[in-house]
Amino acid sequence: MTAQGEDILAWTEHAITAREEAANAAPRSPWSVLVDDDALIAPDGIPVVEAFALSGQQTRAILNHVALHDPASVLRRCAADRKILHLHGGRGHSCSAIDADGDLDEHARFYDHEVCDTVRALAEGYGWTEGER
């Protein structure tokens, strides 16, 4: 791959690794928190953090979001993304993609200087922006 292809692959690999490290550093115990209108309350009844300007409903929504992205979930996603990167980040591979005419080509070939749309989409999910391109 050329520098551009290697850059996006290396960048995405680094982004996946950063998520894995954060997930591995997080506690493995079950994440359970009670919420009242004023604070997050741990199971032992001690307030964990004040909710500040957040309503109870907003706090519950945030906690539901966090629960869906617990360490085990993040590690599963990272493993799946590494498989996608391995399948689509190689030299000379083929996959479905939009061709130069804007049509879906079910057997588009990607060579040394090209990065397939799947890798670009995966990288964008980790925050790859025009600035990195």
110-125 pLDDT, tens digit each: 765 678 888 889 999 9
Nearest CA among 126, 124, 110 for reference residue 22: 126
- Asked if residues 81 and 122 have their Cβ atoms less than 8 Å apart, the reply is yes
Q: Dihedral (C-alpha) 50, 69, 131, 113: value to the nearest 10 degrees?
A: 170
- The pLDDT value recorded for residue 43 is 52
Report whether pLDDT(9) > 80. Answer: yes
DSSP-assigned letter for residue 112: T
pLDDT in tens, 54-104: 677 777 787 777 777 788 889 999 999 999 988 887 766 777 766 667 776
Average pLDDT over residues 11-37: 80
Whether the per-residue pLDDT at 37 is higher than 70: the answer is no
Query: Which residues, listed in sequence order, are joined to residue 95 by a DSSP beta bridge?
Result: 108
pTM of the model: 0.68
Higher pLDDT, 10 or 64: 10
Pairing of strands 34-35, 39-41: antiparallel
